[in-house]
A and B are shown apart, each in its own frame.
Chain A
Amino acid sequence: MTQFDLSHIGRRFGAVQALDDVSLTLGSGEVHALMGENGAGKSTLIRILAGLDRPDNGRLLLDGTELPPANPASVRAAGLRFIHQELHAVPGLSIAENMHLDHPYPRRLGLVDWRALNTAAAQALGRLGLGRLDPARPMSDLGPGDQMLVRIAATLIGDGLRAPWLYVMDEPTAALTSEESERLFDVIGDLIRQGAGILYVSHRMPEVLQLADRVTVLRDGRRVSTRPLSETSQQTIIEEMTGRDISGLFPDRQMDQTPGPEVLCVAGLRAGRVVSADLSVRAGEIMGVAGVAGSGRGTLLQAIVGAIPAEAGTVTADAVPVGGSPAEAWRHGIAYVPRERRSQGLMLGRSISENVVLPHLGALARARLFLNHGRQRRLARELGQAVTLKAASVDQSCRELSGGNQQKVLFARALAGNPRVLLLDEPTRGIDIGARFEIYRLIRRLSAQGIAILMASSDLPEIIGLCDRIAVMRDGRLAETLDAEGLSEAALLARFYHVDKTEQVA
């Protein structure tokens, strides 16, 4: 059995001790999960492991032999491979070429030997049970899940170095659907059976509980524990990560609360993948939108906010029809927190306050034209407090914030205009458990203030734990609406796949 040790690693950035005496042993044949909130030191540890950053103290050891620090080439030669959540794929090149991006192309007479290139790719794909993928097809034909599997397969192509045996996967499922994730888990199983080891970094508790043999928890740069999965539990892991007791992740509903009048009304909406949707959300109600990936779950929110043009149907807020553009929607008190906070939500290079006030520039200005900088910053500061945003100041650039705090900036933006309706698309995607808890509490509080909330999520415990009612999308149709009270995950999942006779006829 091969073994890789991180021994007593320390790393300080200015005043922050990012890692403090962290030791970790990674062995072949097991999945080792690394957990911790954002800022716990996971990323720093992985950068040091990859040879991208030099630790202040500590050593990297392969079977007891010390590796030179901060040397990516020697880490690679030691058989480590890194799979990141962001896919570095070249869409226009073929699958086989993408698999050879960091390998020499096979050549014949000095020219590329295309047949050998495709054969090598096909063999590597075959070893992971991915024979269904044709290496000559362009990478752009594949979804993000298959692209990630192709990247993993690419590491199996021999390059004369030690065969890879330890895979470091950093949030590999962040961009994947649940079906794609399942295929990744199959491949991880194959790799383990072939003697590899995995260091698996994820925020998603169910995945860790499903895959891991051992779990290491980091908090504030220190290792809190390393335990076999059998000796720990979700509860223990969460408590170790947050340093506090989270008895229930989902805050209780306030029972005395009775839903108010209908605020958001959607009738006969057809747009993009959404074939037909009718729903209404009352003031103070949280309505979930659930369904398998591709069911039109997220598209429904995009259609309501006018981000994609509606082909038919109406959206009304407080009985006033809302025209088909995001500008119109914001003006009518419909606030939207998009799914992709980096690409669709934030101006990453800009300050928190610029990001918060963006949809409300006109309302905050003098004569709707001339800026009132003081008022903008005050509002951003107040809302930052309201959403428990942790930042140095409202002038800090959003790029420097953790995922959870970036999401809170988007919530602050949504709240800045005192919305009547809040549309949330995957509000806790890629966010650590502590920030997630805070966002759940925030959603509850906003609902108690009488905001109508419509929330699409692929996280079943979240949608059941938080929502009052759940709209189930099937093949672009809003098929039915369920009461969340007492609903089990299994029962909800069954509704995702349920095929109704009348729908078949239609």
Chain B
Amino acid sequence: MWLIRRFGGLFGMIAVVVFFAASLPETFLTLRNWLNIGQQISMLAVIAATMTVVMVMGDFDLSVGSMASLSGIVAATLFVQDWSIPAAVAAALAVGLAGGLFNGIIVSIVGILPFVGTLATLTVFSGLAFLISDGRTIFGRDIPAAFGDFARGGPPLAGVDDRVLVLPNLVIVAALVVLVVWVVLEQTTYGRRLYAIGGNREAARLAGVPVRPLRLTAFAFTGVGAALAGLMYASRVASANPTQGDGLMLTAIAAVFLGMTLTRDGQPRVLATLAGVVVLGVLDNGLTQMRVDSYVREVLVGTIILIAVGLSALGRDGLVRR
């Protein structure tokens, strides 16, 4: 029984992969398809990994999606004004840092609930994106070719059918971000103090953990992650519009929750988050290949998240006490 409780989520994930491998024997288990999945999920991986940083404290950041849209718009707008790629990218990341710090201030210093505070900044960032772009998509010759090529390029892996498969740069970026977040959360005092805040905020404070500065900076982390994901998105589609990152927020939170079903103590952990991201990516990829209608796909994915998180909640507390 404990086996199911402990590893049930993992079995479920393996079952999903096996199911698609059996249903799509030609295409699903090929290197090409997995590189494709990797590229598709790299933005989500970056946002979900940095979202994990605030979620270990028991907080949320709902503004990441609109921050991703805003950062893409900022970079594209600066491209229009002939900024260099490094300068525009740096500026967009700075916007992410500023937005994250602002979230941190309203949550930790002002004391607004993260749900309410970041819901408000979600609207603010989204409005700013529309304001800056005039509501238009920026694309075509306004975006430097090198910026769009970055997403398409990468170090070559192997030749298949006369075409060279590359390890997408976006996957490398996402892997680096996950690695950095893993080191920060699992290997530094900073990360363990964030976990302590999530474990019991008052006890952490009385044990000398500087709760306010830590919460503030953790939100900055998430802001920068969101901005980076927005840039990756803009590079992949070689354009920017003021809503393109919006969908990432809910999926990222879903990925963290899916990951929490894998950890022994039910805490968010970045590698578990990554597993959640992969599952969502695999589901999306497999269902698309099986030509499942995209609306049906959304219903299915939502239902699967509910079942996974629900089973895990039941496994942890049991039915008896309800």
Contact = CB atoms under 8 A, between A and B. Distances in A.
Nearest to B183: A370
Closest 5 pairs (CB-CB, A-B): A347-B199, A330-B208, A361-B189, A327-B208, A359-B208
Interface of A: 305, 307, 325-331, 336, 338, 343-350, 354, 358-359, 361-362, 365, 368-371, 397, 413
Contact of A305 (B190, B206, B210): B206
B180 interface: no
A395 to B, nearest CB: 10
A339 to B, nearest CB: 10
A371 to B, nearest CB: 5
B189 A368 contact: yes
B192 interface: yes
Contact of B187 (A326, A349, A350, A370): A370
Nearest to B321: A52
Given A361-B192, A369-B190, A307 B206 contact: yes
Contacts, number: 80
Nearest to A417: B208
B200 interface: yes
Given A361-B189, A361-B193, A365-B189, A344 B206 contact: yes
A358 B203 CA distance: 10
A464 B193 CA distance: 38
Contacts of A354: 192, 195-196, 199
A33 B210 CA distance: 45
B207 A330 contact: yes
Interface residues of B, number: 23
B265 interface: yes
A397 B209 CA distance: 20
Given A331-B208, A361-B192, A347 B265 contact: no
A371 B189 contact: yes
B210 A327 contact: yes
Contact of B208 (A329, A346, A371): A329
Contacts of B208: 325-331, 358-359
Contacts of A345: 203, 206
Interface in B203-242: 203-210
A88 to B, nearest CB: 14
Given A343-B202, A345-B203, A358 B209 contact: yes
B206 A371 contact: no
Report which residue of B186, B188, B204, B206 has the largest number of chain A beta carbons within 10 angstroms of its beta carbon: B206
25 contacts: A307-B205, A325-B208, A328-B208, A329-B208, A330-B208, A336-B206, A338-B203, A343-B203, A344-B202, A345-B203, A346-B200, A347-B200, A347-B203, A347-B204, A348-B200, A349-B199, A354-B195, A358-B208, A359-B209, A361-B193, A362-B189, A369-B188, A370-B187, A371-B192, A413-B207
B205 A397 contact: no
Contacts of B266: 349
A228 to B, nearest CB: 38
A391 B142 CA distance: 65
Nearest to B190: A369
A368 B189 CA distance: 7
Contacts of A330: 207-208
Report which residue of B190, B199, B200, B208 has the largest number of chain A beta carbons within 10 angstroms of its beta carbon: B208
Nearest to A397: B265
Contacts of A361: 189, 192-193
Given A327-B210, A354-B196, A371-B186, 13 more contacts: A305-B206, A325-B208, A326-B206, A330-B208, A338-B206, A343-B203, A344-B203, A347-B196, A354-B195, A358-B207, A358-B208, A365-B189, A369-B188
A348 B204 CA distance: 12
A365 B195 CA distance: 16
Nearest to A351: B265
B317 to A, nearest CB: 13
Given A369-B188, A370-B187, A371-B192, A359 B207 contact: yes
Contacts of B199: 347-350, 354
Nearest to A348: B200
A329 B192 CA distance: 20
Contacts of B265: 349-350, 397
Interface string B9-44: 000000000000000000000000000000000000
